[in-house]
Amino acid sequence: MAARVFELPKEHELTKDQRMAIRLPADGQYLIVGAPGTGKSVVALMRLKKYAATNETLFLSYNHVLNHANKVLAGPDENFHMNTAMSWLYDFQYKAAGGSQANFEQAKMPEIENRKPDYDALINRFEELGASCTSTNFIIDEGQDLPPEWYEAVEALNVENFFIVADQNQQITEQNSSQSDLLDALGLEKDDVIHLKENWRNTTPISAFANYFYTDKSSEKPALPKKPSAHVPILYEYKMLGSAKELILSSYDNDPSKLIGLFVANEGKREHWAKYLKNDNKQRREASPVVSTYYSNQKGSVNIDFSQGGIVVLNDKSVKGIEFDEVFIIIDGFKAIGSDIESLMKRMYVMASRARDRLFLLKSEVQESLFEDILPPVGETIEIERNGHVEKHELLKRIKI
C-alpha cells in the first residue's frame, strides 16, 4: 500500500465552465449537468467550501460511498453538514415530528414499503407541522438518482436555494429524475442549464468505450478528452477463476499506489470477491493489498481509504461519482431491470467511466452474460482526428486467459 493523491484541485486549475459554476451567487436555483469526469462533484464541493461559512449549507450525496469520499475531499468543517439525501430526509422528518422512543411509531417516516417514503403523507405531515428549511442552501450531488417526489417533499419545506449536479445518462436506479424533472422542480428553463463539457478523468480510449453505451438520444455524446493512451480497454475471458484473481492482484503488485476498483453484479459476488482477494498466499514483490468493500448493512460506516492504494470491491450502485486508477468489471451475473437493455447500457456507462487510466472486463467462458450482447463487436473501431490526422482505435480488445 502506498499513498496516492486524493484532494480537490486549486481553482486556477479548473476549466472556465467549472469556475463559472462555482462563482454563481449563493442564493438561487441552479442545475449543472455533465458527463462522467467533467468535475460535477468537484464543482459542488468547491462551491460548498466557498459559501458555507456565510450560508447555512447542506451537502447531500446519492449513496454512502460517495458521501464518504466527498467528506474526505471537503475536510472537516463545522460550517456545513453532509449526508446521503435519503438519510437526511428520514432524520429531518423524525426530528420535525418530535420523534422519541416513546412515540417512535407515530413519528417515524410514513412509508409505502421499507425505505420507500409515502411522499404524499410526508408532505402533509410537513405542512401540519409547519416544518421549514427556508434558510438552508441545498447542494445535491448525483441529483438524477432521486425521484421527483423527493424534490417535491423538500420544496414543501419552503427551500429556496438549490445547487444540483446531475447527468441523466447515469440513472441506474429504478426511481430517478430526468433533466426535465429537475428543471420542473427548480422552475428553470432548458437554456438555464449550465453544461460542463471537458472530461478530465478518463483517457481517450476509456472515454470512447464508455461513450459506446451512451443512450441519451436528445443530446450529443460527450466530447472525447485529449488524453491519448496505448491502453485500450480489454475483455479477459477466463477458464479458471484463479486466473481472474491473479490478474487483479498482479496489477496491484506492479504499482501499490494505485487504487483499483472491482465492480460486480450483486451482493453475493461482492462478498465472495472481497474474501477471495484477501486470501492470497502467493509470494509477491509488495505486501498484500488492503481489500475494502461496502454493503448496505454497514449503514453509512464506510471504511474505504481513497488516499492510499488498494482494492475496493463494490456493486455497481455504489460506484456513482467515484473514480479509481484502474477498474475491473466482472460482467457475469448482471440482470436488466425487466427487459430494459437500456438500463444495462447505463450501468456499463457508469462503471466504465470510473476508470482514470486502465479498464478491464472479466468474463467466465462457461457463463453467459447479458453484457456480451451489447459490448462492441470484435474489430469495432472509432476514428479520432488529432493534429490533422485521423486515427483508428479499437474500442475493446479480447483476450482468453
**Phi first, then psi: what are they for 271, rounded to 5°?**
-65, -40
Compute the radius of gyration of the chain from its Cα atoms.
22
**Residue 338: predicted pLDDT:** 63
Same fold, 11-196 and 204-400: yes
Comparing CA positions, the residue from 356, 353, 397, 355 lying closest to residue 379 is 397
Question: Which pLDDT value is given to residue 300?
Answer: 73
Question: Cα separation of 14 and 382, whole Å?
Answer: 29
**Architecture of the structural domain at 204-400:** 3-Layer(aba) Sandwich (3.40)
Look at the chain and count its residues. 401
Per-residue pLDDT at 294: 94
Residue by residue, pLDDT tens for the chain (401 residues) are 688 989 999 989 999 999 999 999 999 999 999 999 999 999 999 999 999 988 899 999 989 999 999 999 999 888 899 999 999 999 999 999 999 999 999 999 999 998 899 999 999 999 999 999 999 999 999 999 999 999 999 999 999 999 999 998 887 777 789 999 999 999 999 999 999 999 999 999 999 999 999 988 777 888 899 898 999 999 999 999 999 999 999 999 999 999 999 999 999 999 999 999 999 988 899 889 999 999 877 777 899 999 999 999 999 989 989 999 999 999 999 987 766 888 899 999 999 999 999 999 999 999 888 899 899 998 899 888 777 788 788 999 999 99
Class of domain 11-196: alpha beta
| pLDDT at position 389 | 82
Question: In the prediction, which pLDDT does 186 show?
Answer: 93
Burial of 71 (0-12, 13-18, 19+ CB in 10 A): middle
Q: Kindly report the pTM of this predicted structure.
A: 0.93
Domain boundaries of the chain, sorted by first residue: 11-196, 204-400
Rounded Cα–Cα distance for residues 173 and 148 (Å): 13
Across 180-196, b (16+ Cβ under 10 Å) vs e yields ebbbebbebeeeebbeb
